[in-house]
Amino acid sequence: MSLPHDFSEPDESLPQPVADAAFGPAAPEPVLFAPLEPVAFPVKPSCPAWSWWDLLAVLGFSLFAVLAFSVTALFVAHSFPQYRNAPISELVTNARIIVGAQAAAYPFVLLGIFFLVRSRANQRFRDAIQWNWPGRSALMMFASGVILAVTIEGLSRFLPMPKSLPVDSYFTDATSAYIMAAFGTTLAPLLEEVLFRGLLYPLARRSFGLVAAIAVTALAFAGIHGAQLGYAWAPVLSIFVVGVAFTSVRARTSSVANSFMMHCGYNFTLFAMLWLASDHYRHLEKVSG
Residue pLDDT, tens place only, 256-273: 999 999 999 999 999 999
| Residue 129 CB burial class (10 angstroms; 0-12, 13-18, ≥19) | buried
Domains held by the chain: number: 1
C-alpha distance from residue 279 to each of 66, 87, 276 (Å): 32, 30, 5
pLDDT average, residue stretch 38-57: 73
Of the candidates 43, 59, 50, the residue with the CA atom closest to the CA atom of residue 203:
50
Domain membership of residue 33 (yes or no) is no
Confidence (pLDDT) at 44: 43
Domain membership of residue 41 (yes or no) is no
Domain membership of residue 40 (yes or no) is no
191 backbone dihedrals φ, ψ, rounded to 5°: -65, -40
Q: What is the mean pLDDT of the chain?
A: 88
245 backbone dihedrals φ, ψ, rounded to 5°: -65, -45
Distance CA 164, CA 154 (A): 18
Alpha helices in 78-94 (DSSP H): 88-91
Containing 50, the helix (H) or strand (E) segment is: none
For residue 158, is pLDDT > 50? yes
Distance CA 207, CA 47 (A): 11
Lowest mean pLDDT across 35-44, 51-60, 195-204, 209-218: 35-44
Question: Using an 8 Å Cβ cutoff, are 197 and 246 in contact?
Answer: yes
pLDDT tens profile 75-124: 999 889 989 888 988 899 999 999 999 999 999 999 999 999 999 999 99
Half-sphere exposure at residue 68, Cβ-oriented, CA atoms within 13 angstroms: 11
> Above pLDDT 90, what percent of the chain?
76
Question: Using the 8-state DSSP alphabet, how is residue 136 labeled?
Answer: G
Question: Using an 8 Å Cβ cutoff, are 150 and 269 in contact?
Answer: yes
Please report which confidence band the pLDDT of residue 41 belongs to, taking 50, 70 and 90 as the band edges: very low
Domain membership of residue 44 (yes or no) is no
Say how far residue 268 (Cα) sits from the centre of its chain. 19
> Above pLDDT 70, what percent of the chain?
83
Domain membership of residue 151 (yes or no) is yes
18 backbone dihedrals φ, ψ, rounded to 5°: -120, 135
Domain membership of residue 144 (yes or no) is yes
pLDDT tens profile 182-231: 999 999 999 999 999 999 999 999 999 999 999 999 999 999 999 999 99
Domain membership of residue 24 (yes or no) is no
Q: What is the pTM of this model?
A: 0.83
* Single-letter residue type at 188: A
Domain membership of residue 42 (yes or no) is no
Question: Using an 8 Å Cβ cutoff, are 105 and 66 in contact?
Answer: yes
Confidence (pLDDT) at 163: 87
Q: Can you give the residue range of the structural domain that contains 253?
A: 52-286
